[in-house]
Amino acid sequence: MSVFLTPSDRLRIVRVEESRVETQTARTVFFRDEACLNAKPGQFAMIWAMGADEMPMSLSVMNDEGRSAVTVKPWGPGSNLLCSLKPGELIGVRGPYGNNFTSKKGSTLLVGGGSGVAPLIPLSQELMRIGAKVTLVLAGKTSGDLMLLGDAERIIKPPHRLVIVTDDGSAGVKGLAPDAVRDLLSKKAFDQIYSCGPEKMMRMVFDMAEEKGIPMEASLERPMECAIGLCGICVVGKYLLCRDGPVLDSKQLREVSKEFGFTRLDRAGRVVPL
Amino acid sequence: MAKAAPEALSSSKLSVNIAGLTLSAPTMLAAGVVGITPSLLRRALDSGAGAVLTKSIGLNPREGYRNPTVVGVECGYLNAIGLGNPGVQAFSEQLKNIKGDLPIIMSLFGSGPEEFSQMMPLLEDTPVKGYELNLSCPHVKGVGVEVGQDSEMVSKIVSVVKRGTKKPVFVKVSPNVGNVVEIARAAESVGADGITAINTLRAMTIDVEAKRPVLSNKFGGLSGPAIRPVAVRCVYEISSVVRIPVVGCGGVSKWSDAVEMLLAGASAVQVGTGLATQGYGVFKALNEGILRYLSEHGFERVEQIVGLSHSF
Is the Cβ–Cβ distance between A88 and A253 less than 8 Å?
A: no
Instruction: Establish whether B75 is a catalytic residue.
Output: no
A5 CA to chain B: closest CA distance, Å?
A: 6
- Quick one: closest CA in B to A224, which residue? B67
B254 lies within 8 A of chain A by CB: no
Using CB atoms, which residue from B75, B272, B275 is nearest to A4? B75
**In degrees to the nearest 10, what's the CA dihedral of B5, B7, B11, B13?**
10
Q: Give the domain extent around B298.
A: 6-69+82-203+224-311
Cβ contact, residue pair A4, B210, below 8 Å: no
Q: What is the CATH number of the domain that holds B155?
A: 3.20.20.70
Does residue A146 contact residue A71 with C-beta atoms inside 8 Å? no
CA distance B125 to B109: 19
**Domain-embedded: residue B217:** no
**Hey, is the C-beta of B38 within 8 angstroms of any chain A C-beta?**
no
β A216-219/A133-140 pair status: unpaired
Determine contact: A11 vs chain B, CB below 8 A: yes
Whether A76 contacts chain B with CB within 8 A: no
CA of A138: how far to CAs of A100, A153, A198, B9, B118, in Å?
20, 10, 12, 51, 53
The reply to whether residue B39 touches residue A235, judged by beta carbons under 8 angstroms, is yes
Residue range(s) in chain A whose domain bears CATH number 3.40.50.80: 107-273
For chain B positions 264-283, those within 8 Å of chain A (CB to CB) are 272-273, 275-277, 279
Q: In this structure, is residue B235 part of a structural domain?
A: yes
Do A13 and B62 lie within an 8 Å CB cutoff? no
**Residue A161 to residue A153: CA distance in whole angstroms:** 10
B217 contacts in chain A (CB < 8 Å): none
Which residues are CB-contacts of B70 (< 8 A; sequence separation ≥ 6)?
A: A225, A226, A227, A228, A230, A231, B77, B78, B79, B81
Q: List, as own/partner pairs, every contact residues B296-300 make where C-beta atoms lie below 8 angstroms and the sequence separation is at least 24, other chains included.
A: B296/B1, B300/B13
| B275–A230 C-beta distance less than 8 A | yes
**B208 within a domain of the structure (yes/no):** no
Domain with CATH 2.40.30.10 in chain A: 12-97
Give the β-pairing of A239-240 and A216-219: unpaired
Interchain CB contact of B96 with A (< 8 Å): no
Min Cα–Cα distance to chain A from B94, Å: 9
Q: Residue A108: which of A117, A99, A120 has the closest Cα?
A: A120
Establish if A54 touches chain B: CB-CB under 8 angstroms. yes
Mean pLDDT of chain B: 95
Instruction: For chain A, state the CA radius of gyration.
Output: 18
pTM above 0.90, yes or no: yes
Q: Measured between alpha carbons, how far is A74 from A150 in angstroms, rounded to an integer?
A: 20
pLDDT tens digit string along B216-233?
Answer: 999 999 999 999 999 999
Q: What is the DSSP letter of B275?
A: H
Q: What b/e sequence results for A159-184 when a residue is b if at least 16 CB atoms lie within 10 Å of its CB, and e otherwise?
A: ebebbbbbeeeebbbebbbbebbbeb
Chain A residues within 8 A of B72 when measuring between CB atoms? 4-5, 9-11, 94, 228
CA distance B177 to B179: 6
Instruction: Could you please state the CATH topology (level 3) that the domain comprising A12-97 is classified under.
Output: Elongation Factor Tu (Ef-tu); domain 3 (2.40.30)
Dist. CA A258–CA A114, nearest whole Å: 24
- Residues pairing with A164 in the sheet: A138
Residues A107-273, CATH architecture: 3-Layer(aba) Sandwich (3.40)
Whether residue B216 lies inside any domain: the answer is no
B72: nearest CB among A10, A13, A53: A10
Closest by Cα among B89, B18, B96 to B59: B89
Strands (DSSP E) along chain B, which ranges? 16-18, 21-23, 27-29, 51-57, 70-73, 76-79, 104-108, 130-134, 169-173, 194-197, 201-204, 206-207, 212-213, 219-223, 246-249, 266-271
How many Å apart are CA B36 and CA B53, to the nearest integer? 10
Is residue B102 within 8 angstroms of chain A, CB to CB?
no
- Cα–Cα distance measured from residue B48 to residue B8, given in angstroms and rounded to the nearest whole number: 12
Quote the percentage of chain B above a pLDDT of 90: 94
Cβ distance B81 to B61 under 8 Å?
A: no
> Element (H or E) spanning A36, and its range?
helix A34-37
Rounded Cα gap, residues A84 and A25, in angstroms: 9
A225 touches chain B (CB under 8 A): yes
Does the beta-carbon distance from B84 to A267 stay under 8 Å? Answer: yes
CA nearest neighbour of B275 among B39, B48, B9: B48
Per-residue pLDDT of chain A (274 residues; tens, 9 = 90+): 456 899 999 999 999 999 999 999 999 999 999 999 999 999 999 999 999 999 999 999 999 999 999 999 999 999 999 999 999 999 999 999 999 999 999 999 999 999 999 999 999 999 999 999 999 999 999 999 999 999 999 999 999 999 999 999 999 999 999 999 999 999 999 999 999 999 999 999 999 999 999 999 999 999 999 999 999 999 999 999 999 999 999 999 999 999 999 999 999 999 999 9
Question: Residue B34 and residue A235: Cβ atoms within 8 Å?
Answer: yes
Q: Residue B21 falls within a domain, yes or no?
A: yes
Q: ipTM score here? A: 0.93
Tell whether B75 is covered by a domain.
Answer: no
Count of domains for chain B: 1
